[in-house]
Amino acid sequence: MILRDLIAHLDRPLHAGPLDADIHAVTADSRLVEPGVVFVAVRGESRDGRSYIPTAIEKGAAAIISDTAPESDHPAEIPYIQTSDTRHALAAFARVLAGEPSKKLRLAGVTGTNGKTTTAFLMHHLMKRVWHRAGLISTVVVDDGEETKPANFTTPGPVELNGLLARMVDHGCRGAAMEVSSHGIDQKRVDGIAYDAAIFTNLTQDHLDYHGTLDAYAATKFSWFETLAANPLGKKPVAVVNFDDGYGEKLVTLLGDRMPLIRYGFNVHCDFRANNFKQSARGMEFELTAKGKSYLVRTPLIGRFNVYNILSALAAASAMKINLRDAVSAIAEAPQVPGRMEHCGTKDGVSVFVDYAHTPDAVTNACRTLKELNPNRLITVFGCGGDRDKTKRPLMAKAAAEYSDACIITSDNPRSEDPEAILKEIEAGMGGARYKTVVDRAEAIRIAIHAAGQGDIVLIAGKGHETYQQFADRTIDFDDRREARRALAERPEPPPRKR
Ligand SMILES: CC(=O)N[C@H]1[C@@H](OP(=O)(O)OP(=O)(O)OC[C@H]2O[C@@H](n3ccc(=O)[nH]c3=O)[C@H](O)[C@@H]2O)O[C@H](CO)[C@@H](O)[C@@H]1O[C@H](C)C(=O)N[C@@H](C)C(=O)N[C@H](CCC(=O)O)C(=O)O
Ligand SMILES: Nc1ncnc2c1ncn2[C@@H]1O[C@H](COP(=O)(O)OP(=O)(O)OP(=O)(O)O)[C@@H](O)[C@H]1O
Ligand SMILES: N[C@H](CCC[C@H](N)C(=O)O)C(=O)O
Ligand SMILES: [Mg+2]
């Protein structure tokens, strides 16, 4: 594509140099520049992309995009475009160069603090049932319709995102489900992506390191819906909102009649409403009332919070013209989402679950769900990630302490922080609860599983599907599920029963 046609997508760009260059790709990473590639200098959280302009030129960049004027020594033959918003430019170029793939797919986006991955997996499963081929972009994996690979981000940057969507189109996918993180919205990774359904799961504390306050975090999530309402990009997107959640209610009021909306939850005003919820260790069932009819929903998933994930997936599927009865029957065979309430085995009457709960609300939900299975004791092993929202540490502790009979506090991903110091901040929230601190996560898991007795449940929270552990100086292979199975296998023989 010719540079002149690309810059037509920018708002009043200033340019210098020739505009007839043939462009094959765009990047904001100087390390990926090669001839024919436009380099967009993005000012990031930790680095200033403008400092990489000389490197990009050396590597043969076809053009430079920046938000300030060129340096006096900028080579005249290399086009230089000045624009007020470089992240917007990056997203626009990525989209146009990929052929606007989001417009060729039926696309569902899921945002909210918790439940995005689970809901996206459920939607992907429903879509594959009826359309045979469908894509998935999630924290755990990306599926382009032919190949499933581990994911690097919850919501990838615009170049990777549009590339993935284009591959889905090429592979014959009729639709896709993707997570839309608050970082993704704020950094314009999803700018100009056309959605058919936009799901809001809930909003509780997380990411305050990035957004500052809960209201600023909510405003970022809401801005995604407002953008879709103002500019539906040739589609008729439907907002699917949790109406039992305080922020969901605010979103409904904010949107008014600016876009079609489906409210879901247990409360009587919901368009997709659940009641008569029952669960056992094998799964759960509830009654769905929607579109003037009633349906019995059965699923192997457990946890009242998963009722919300199922309701939103069913509502979004129905908004995307998937037959509701077919969708309900597919939920009966919902897949195990890796690391979400994943049962890792039972031995000597001790059952172990791994769950990705890493916010206060998620810890509450995970513990409550397991308590509802009436264990003799619930033993929870958890920690908190380094270089992330520190204020959630004592709150996660409070949640774990409230619902568990005993806790082992351990390391999550310490990243650049001192693991012992993180443990101290967690301890501050434990109140008078019974707990131990064991900084080594593998040892903490082993101690919990070996100390558990007949009828106990051990919950290992926080890392879910992750297959690594990040420290300041190294990243090691680590998987809670593998450690759990190993510890179960190595459990010492229980003492013989007294007659
Ligand atoms: C806080 C955050 O989101 N940071 C992301 C963001 O960084 P940034 O924009 O601040 O970029 P930067 O590192 O300051 O660099 C500035 C610019 O210089 C460029 N650069 C840098 C080095 C170089 O040699 N050459 C070069 O051109 C970079 O490509 C970038 O364009 O953009 C970068 C490039 O895309 C990301 O790698 C980086 O993710 C970091 C690693 C990260 O940890 N992000 C997490 C927090 C995240 O995004 N999480 C969300 C939500 C998770 C969830 O709750 O599910 C997600 O969607 O995954
Ligand atoms: N609808 C929900 N409401 C509250 N908690 C939930 C919900 N769904 C899942 N959870 C809890 O939150 C954890 C994370 O769930 P999931 O991975 O689906 O969310 P996510 O929004 O994708 O998280 P992340 O932003 O970290 O990728 C689960 O392991 C579970 O403990
Ligand atoms: N996407 C989340 C993942 C947290 C997972 C937890 N294991 C941790 O490392 O804190 C985040 O970046 O906040
Ligand atoms: Mg996720």
Q: Which pLDDT does position 177 carry in this prediction?
A: 98
Residue 271 has pLDDT above 80, yes or no: yes
User: Dihedral of CA 109/113/115/117: which sign?
Assistant: positive
- Average pLDDT estimate for 240-262: 98
Q: What is residue 279's DSSP assignment?
A: E
Distances (CA, A) of 346 to 301, 342, 382, 456: 18, 12, 20, 10
Residue 297 has pLDDT above 90, yes or no: yes
Q: Which pLDDT does position 436 carry in this prediction?
A: 97
Distance CA 474, CA 306 (A): 35
pLDDT tens digits for range 7-58: 999 988 888 888 999 999 999 999 999 999 999 999 998 999 999 999 999 9
Distances (CA, A) of 325 to 314, 322, 493: 10, 9, 49
Q: Dihedral, CA atoms, 419, 417, 400, 304, nearest 10 degrees?
A: -130
How crowded is the C-beta side of 101, counted as CA atoms within 13 Å? 28
pLDDT tens digits for range 211-224: 999 999 999 999 99
Distances (CA, A) of 14 to 2, 11, 69, 76, 82: 17, 9, 9, 14, 5
pLDDT tens digits for range 427-441: 999 999 999 999 999
Task: Work out whether strand 468-470 and strand 406-409 pair parallel, antiparallel, or are unpaired.
Answer: unpaired
- For residue 27 and ligand 2, the question of a CB distance below 6 A is answered with no
Q: If you search the block for the tokens 């069932």, which residue do you land on?
A: 285
pLDDT tens digits for range 140-161: 999 999 999 999 999 999 999 9
- Average pLDDT estimate for 373-395: 97
Residue 497 has pLDDT above 90, yes or no: no
From the CA of 156, how far away is ligand 1's center (Å)? 10
- For residue 154 and ligand 2, the question of a CB distance below 6 A is answered with yes
From the CA of 358, how far away is ligand 3's center (Å)? 7
From the CA of 31, how far away is ligand 1's center (Å)? 14
Residue 220 annotated as binding?
Answer: no
Amino acid identity of 470? Q
Helix/strand/coil for 185: helix
| Strand stretches in 190-310, DSSP E | 197-200, 238-242, 261-265, 272-280, 283-290, 293-299
From the CA of 385, how far away is ligand 3's center (Å)? 6
Residue 69 has pLDDT above 80, yes or no: yes
Residue with CA closest to ligand 3 atom 9: 385
Angle subtended by helix axes 304-319 and 360-371, to nearest 10: 110
CA 26 to chain centre: 25
pLDDT tens digits for range 191-218: 999 999 999 999 998 999 999 999 999 9
Residue with CA closest to ligand 1 atom 28: 29
Residue 470 annotated as binding?
Answer: no
Q: Which pLDDT does position 113 carry in this prediction?
A: 96
From the CA of 114, how far away is ligand 4's center (Å)? 7
CA 69 to chain centre: 37
Q: What are phi and psi of 284, to 5 degrees?
A: -145, 170
Q: Which pLDDT does position 348 carry in this prediction?
A: 95
Q: Which two tokens stand for residue 450?
A: 């070996």
Q: State which ligand 1 atom lies nearest to the alpha carbon of 184.
A: 57
Q: Which pLDDT does position 499 carry in this prediction?
A: 63
Helices first, then strands: H and E counts in the chain: 16, 24
Residue with CA closest to ligand 1 atom 22: 29
pTM of the model: 0.96
Q: Which pLDDT does position 285 carry in this prediction?
A: 97
Q: Which pLDDT does position 329 carry in this prediction?
A: 97
CA 257 to chain centre: 28
Q: 312: closest CA among 259, 366, 248? A: 248
Report how far apart the first and last C-alpha atoms of the chain are (Å, whole number).
82
Residue 99 annotated as binding?
Answer: no
Residue 351's pLDDT band, with cuts at 50, 70 and 90, is: very high
Tell me the pLDDT of the chain averaged across its residues. 96
Residue 156 annotated as binding?
Answer: no
DSSP for 219-239, written as a single string: HHHHHHHHHHHH--TTS--EE
Distance CA 177, CA 135 (A): 6
